[in-house]
Amino acid sequence: MIILGIESSCDETAAALVTADRQVLAHRLLGQEAAHAPFGGVVPEIAARAHVEALEPLIVAALADAGLKLADVDAIAATAGPGLIGGVMVGLVTGKALAHAAGKPLIAVNHLEGHALSPRLSDPDLAFPYLLLLVSGGHCQLLLVEGVGAYRRLATTIDDAAGEAFDKTAKILGLGFPGGPAVERAAALGNPKAVPLPRPLKGSAEPHFSFAGLKSAVARVVGDYPPEDIAASFQAAVVDCLIDRTTRALNGLTVTPTALVVAGGVAANGAVRGALQTLAATRGLRFVAPPLWLCTDNAAMIAWAGAERFAAGLTDPLDTAARPRWPL
């Protein structure tokens, strides 16, 4: 069984072909960093237009990479939200058109479900239920993943997402866009103990997250310390919050998860991965993190979520709506 996946919910246009037995036959991706960099963030209108230009050639290239024709594909999975609505519409409508023209079923995938199930693409042994820390530019959540379509949200951010805090910190420090990798590079050269920064919500009873206060604190100390020390101290504060909140969620679980899992763009951060790995080890839990390319936005995770849904008999009608907001 072969699934074509389409992703276009933010600033990455992507197409991939993935099989039900976890082979990634092709995955193509075109980032739009250069188009958005002058504005220091993603401009929705520019993103949507770029998806229109990039998507069809990427799908053609992915099919060619895999040596396949559209007729060889068993189903088409496209991100239907949440995300920047113009971009989501481009990908979803393209998926619908291909599904209609080729007579294939459509699977409308929640982008967060793509991230949530992506660790099962790279790790065939990852069984339900697992505790997932989903940390990206738009989301910061702790989910108990109990099965396909069964996600229990234990915590979310009350303001900014962790990736958003990385991006804003990079902007404040003048490190460029996208911010996460730039802050991580600067942090490697700085002292994580140099700058006193807050740990919002650390120790609070519910395992929720908050990062807006941390970002404001960074803005207040800018100029007082070397940017590398601010970056390193900021990253240490984020890691501290993520570990405290994840520990709290683990303590509140009534079932024993098979693993502690991290996914989403911030999972590409070495300090975040390292600290979570240590936490898992102290709890006697397996630690699972997808390879870096599968952590940031891509279409293989959408194709894989499509494969999991298709195997469960879940397909969607061609009048499925694109959704800017869509909680899991």
Q: How far apart are CA 257 and CA 37, in angstroms?
A: 40
164 binds Zn ion (CB under 5 A): no
Q: Is 135 annotated as a binding residue?
A: yes
Residue 73 or 117 having the CB closest to ligand KG4: 117
233 binds ligand KG4 (CB under 6 A): no
81 binds ligand KG4 (CB under 6 A): no
Query: Which residue is associated with the tokens 């609070």?
Result: 204
Q: Which residues of 98-126 are buried (b: 16+ CB within 10 A; e: fewer)?
A: bbeeeebbbbbbbbbbbbbbbbbbbbeeb
Peptide bond into 178 cis (omega under 30): yes
Q: Are 265 and 184 in contact (CB under 8 A)?
A: no
**Could you please report the per-residue DSSP string of 51-64?**
HHHHHHHHHHHHHH
Peptide bond into 82 cis (omega under 30): yes
Q: Is 111 annotated as a binding residue?
A: yes
Residue 316 touches which member of Zn ion, ligand KG4, none, C-beta under 5-8 Å by kind: none
Give the footprint of ligand KG4 on residues 159-178 (CB under 6 A).
163-164, 166-167, 178
Give the footprint of Zn ion on residues 135-154 (CB under 5 A).
136
Taking the complex as a whole, the smallest distance from the CB of residue 272 to ligand KG4 amounts, in Å, to 7
Q: How far apart are CA 238 and CA 198, in angstroms?
A: 9
137 binds ligand KG4 (CB under 6 A): yes
Residue 32 or 136 having the CB closest to Zn ion: 136
Amino acid at 188: A
Q: How far apart are CA 126 and CA 117, in angstroms?
A: 10
Q: How far apart are CA 287 and CA 280, in angstroms?
A: 6
Q: How far apart are CA 296 and CA 299, in angstroms?
A: 10
The stretch near Zn ion (CB under 5 A) out of 59-67, 130-138, 305-313, 315-323 is 130-138
Give the footprint of ligand KG4 on residues 253-272 (CB under 6 A).
264-266, 268-269
Supply the angle between the helices 162-172 and 212-221 in degrees, to the nearest 10.
Answer: 10
Q: Is 262 annotated as a binding residue?
A: no
Query: Which residue is associated with the tokens 């008999």?
Result: 313
Residue 190 touches which member of ligand KG4, Zn ion, none, C-beta under 5-8 Å by kind: none
Q: Is 288 annotated as a binding residue?
A: no
190 binds ligand KG4 (CB under 6 A): no
297 binds Zn ion (CB under 5 A): yes
Taking the complex as a whole, the smallest distance from the CB of residue 105 to ligand KG4 amounts, in Å, to 25
229 binds Zn ion (CB under 5 A): no
Q: Give contact residues for ligand KG4 (rule: CB under 6 A).
A: 10, 136-138, 163-164, 166-167, 178-181, 184, 264-266, 268-269, 296-297
> Residues annotated in the binding site, as ranges?
111, 115, 134-138, 167, 180, 184, 269, 297
Point out the annotated binding site for substrate: 134-138, 167, 180, 184, 269
Annotated binding-site positions for Fe cation = 111, 115, 297
Binding interface with Zn ion (CB under 5 A): 136, 297
